[in-house]
């Protein structure tokens, strides 16, 4: 069995495999922000039709699932995290699929897109991933609520960068969105971007707490104007996390920003994406709306942990024709 033709279709070797230039941002355009709307019923209808319109089968499904693995920010954000748990997670990031499955598929090694941890575990993760190209992402700025004093949130970013994180996932102040204080959100995001230095910054909007899709669209634009390299749905701690309607809203904001500025901004859905079939829907939506260039690790990530186990289980089913128990695909 070989996935080579399907993998070549998914990877699209005609695309330049380069790191996207960082988003420099732009001056805050309040007229653009005020004009941003979201037709909730139309967005929900579009999202609801996706499962029936985009069905991927057999070797192409396996190839897309392998692609999805390379887009995962393998994550542990628990209060009981330990150095040993983080090292096991990093080992899984280095080899996310059992070697015999990859061999049966005719594939070489794959790795996840990154490892995402709390600030206190950054040094452990950096050490565990030494010698690989897997970046470490750190959640910061008073994650998940983002309600600590601003100077402490900025200091936390700086400490994360100093510890070796090359990506920083910040949380915005939701109150700025809910009160329509776009200047405050813009200034906050700019300060976070500056504190990150050379580290890429992902702005977590916590969309489940923003009230409306219109607020999601406007917050997305403001964060991109302030220099966010990625916009991300959720912390994973809200009652509602990533959804297809929210994703469609944010993806279209990214498309609009790119059309006006020429700058590409990445997208990261996080929280609640635990099944392989769901990952395929998000990839289909992204490719439909933004095109093939965005289906690369420098412009798209899944914030997930249990998703990887289900993908590995589906790949084993493709190889053997039988589903295995979840314990055969541990995180470490």
Give the span between the Cα atoms of 287 and 296, in whole angstroms. Answer: 10
Of the candidates 232, 278, 298, 310, the residue annotated as catalytic is 232
User: One of 73, 169, 229, 310 is an active-site residue; which one?
Assistant: 169
The Cα 223–Cα 265 span in angstroms is 10
Q: How far apart are the C-alpha atoms of 165 and 116, rounded to whole Å? A: 9
- Is 232 a known active-site residue? yes
DSSP SS3 for 256: helix
Q: Which two tokens stand for residue 212?
A: 């409306």
d(CA 12, CA 84): 37
CA distance 251 to 311: 24
Question: Which residue bears the tokens 């979840």?
Answer: 326
Cα separation, 307 vs 234, in Å, equals: 16
Q: Which of 92, 229, 268, 298 is catalytic?
A: 268
* Counts for the chain of helices (H) and strands (E), in that order: 14, 8
As given in the structure block, the two tokens for residue 160 are 């994360």
Please confirm, yes or no, whether 169 is among the known catalytic residues: yes
Residues belonging to the active site: 169, 232, 268
């Amino acid at each position: 069995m070989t996935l080579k033709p399907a993998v070549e279709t998914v990877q699209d070797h005609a695309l330049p495999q380069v790191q996207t230039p960082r988003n420099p941002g732009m001056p805050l355009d309040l007229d653009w922000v005020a004009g941003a709307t979201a037709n909730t019923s139309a967005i929900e209808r579009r999202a609801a039709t996706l499962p029936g319109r985009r069905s991927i089968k057999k070797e192409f499904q396996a190839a897309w699932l392998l692609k999805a693995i390379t887009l995962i920010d393998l994550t542990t954000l628990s209060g009981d995290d330990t150095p040993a748990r983080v090292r096991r997670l990093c080992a899984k990031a280095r080899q996310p699929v059992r070697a015999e499955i990859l061999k049966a598929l005719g594939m070489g090694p794959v790795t996840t897109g990154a490892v995402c941890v709390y600030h206190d575990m950054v040094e452990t993760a950096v050490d565990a991933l030494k010698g690989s190209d897997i970046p470490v992402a750190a959640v910061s700025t008073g994650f998940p609520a983002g309600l600590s004093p601003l100077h402490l949130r900025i200091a936390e970013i700086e400490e994360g960068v100093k510890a070796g994180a090359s990506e920083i996932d910040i949380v915005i102040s939701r109150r700025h969105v809910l009160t329509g204080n776009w200047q405050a959100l813009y200034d906050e995001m700019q300060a976070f971007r500056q504190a990150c230095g050379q580290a890429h910054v992902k702005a977590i909007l916590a969309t489940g707490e923003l009230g409306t899709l219109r607020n999601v669209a406007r917050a997305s634009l403001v964060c991109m104007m302030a220099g966010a390299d990625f916009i991300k749905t959720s912390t994973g701690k809200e009652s509602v996390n990533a959804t297809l309607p929210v994703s469609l809203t944010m993806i279209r904001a990214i498309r609009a920003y790119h059309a006006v500025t020429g700058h590409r901004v990445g997208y990261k859905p996080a929280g609640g994406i635990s099944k392989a079939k769901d990952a395929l829907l998000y990839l289909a939506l992204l490719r439909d709306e933004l095109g093939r260039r965005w289906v690369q690790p420098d412009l798209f990530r899944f914030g997930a942990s249990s998703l990887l186990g289900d993908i590995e289980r589906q790949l084993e089913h493709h190889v053997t024709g039988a589903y295995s128990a979840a314990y055969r695909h541990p995180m470490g």
